[in-house]
Structure 1
Amino acid sequence: MALAVSAGLMLAQADAAPQSADAQILRVQDSGGAARGAVTNLPVPRYVSLKGSEGNARRGPSLSHRIDWVFRHAGMPLRVVAEFGHWRRVEDKDGAGGWIHYALLSGVRTALVTQDMVELRSRPNPDADIVARAETGAIVRLGECNIDWCRISGGGQRGWVPKTAIWGVDPDEVRD
């Protein structure tokens, strides 16, 4: 449903949480169709991480809404799917989440290892030397990514892994 069209930008109403019908969640779409948050003008969806060791995910974008979920791992990668004022609707790898105050989130990019004992390689090549291995569920720092590989670090180790072995980066995303 288009709300307004001005200077090549279109405001479109996103899916509002059914529990907060009075809240209007807006996304801005540029002429290329890329969605941007109406509050931050950053891409939506996008990845962020949990700043502290605990973050309450609420049913709606205010402190008066019930807590549905508690994230308990510092650095946990989360996907921002909507914005409203100081609140961000986030999801984890499994789609669980809710509304979190922006002060609990960080722009530092992390990833979650999804493949058990994934091999970290010295170069983004399946024939490169193995420098370490990471377990499923490990939270790692996300570095540069090309079309198929990402450089990650954690636990004093760093190396390249296939994108398919981690969650926290889009399949077509390239990072320098």
Structure 2
Amino acid sequence: MRAVTILVPTLLGGSLGSASGSELGDRSGLPLPRFVSVKSKPANVRVGPGVDYPLRWTFVRRHLPVEILAEFGNWRRIRDADGEEGWILAALLSGRRTALIAPWSAAKPVRLLNRSRQNARVNAVVEPRVLVRVETCTGTWCYVRAQTFSGYVRQSRLWGVYPGEVF
């Protein structure tokens, strides 16, 4: 099978630049893997694709980004920012794009800028693991929002978007 980059419309009206070599989900017809967010709270994550499987964990916070890795009926196999995997009912997920600011960086804050340039004015300094809504990405920079701040951040400083992804 040869690698192909697929662009498809998202629920937000943009396009999703999927990872090279992606395939389409049997049920949704959307690229795999892809990022989405948790819509409901609580949201149970199970060991397998069905309610008969034991719980692995429960999301108690909405809008957290997760990566869909596989589909089975109405179930999605996901990975969270900590690398944990499990199965969640598709109805508990949303196409809204969110991200965590550099969750791998224990103490180094990230600067949000007023323009998509390294020498731009700083709008905010954000701690790792802060949740943001991703509005757009150019492949290098993303424009993000939270309740009290907004700005541009290097795409490589977010967990919830792929390197080079444009939307």
Q: Shared topology, TM-score over 0.5?
A: yes
Residue-by-residue CA offset, 1:135-167 (whole Å, 9 max, x unaligned): 111110001111211111002211000112110
Structure 1: gaps of 5 or more residues: 3-31
Among candidates 59, 67, 73, match of residue 85 of structure 1: 73
Q: Does 2:87 align with 1:99?
A: yes
Cα distance change, pair 55–97 in 1 and its aligned pair in 2 (3 A): farther
Distance 2:52 2:73 in 1: 15
The answer to whether the 8 A contact 1:163-1:171 is kept is yes
Query: Helix, strand or coil: the match of 1:90?
Result: strand
Secondary structure of the 1:103 match is: helix
Provide Cα deviations, 1:39-61, integer angstroms capped at 9, x if missing partner. 11100000000012321110111
Pair 1:64-2:56 in alignment:
no
Q: Tell me: higher relative CO, structure 1 or 2? Use CA pairs within 8 A at least 6 residues apart.
A: 2
Gaps of 5+ in 2: 2-19
Q: Give the alignment's Cα RMSD to 1 decimal.
A: 1.6
How many pairs were matched up?
A: 145
Normalised by the length of structure 2, the TM-score is 0.82
Q: What amino acid does structure 2 have at the position aligned with 1:160?
A: Y
Picking from 116, 121, 135, the partner of 1:124 is 116
Equivalent in 39, 62, 81 of residue 27 of structure 2: 39
Of 131, 140, 144, the residue aligned with 2:136 is 144
**Sequence identity percentage:** 39
Q: What is the CA distance between 1:117 and its match in structure 2?
A: 2.0
Looking at structure 2, the residues matched to 101 and 81 of structure 1 have their Cα atoms a distance apart, in angstroms, of: 13
**Conserved? CA contact 1:51–1:104, under 8 Å:** yes
CA distance in 2, matches of 1:96, 1:72: 15
Question: Larger Cα Rg: Structure 1 or Structure 2?
Answer: 1
CA–CA distance in structure 1, aligned partners of residues 75 and 42 of structure 2:
16
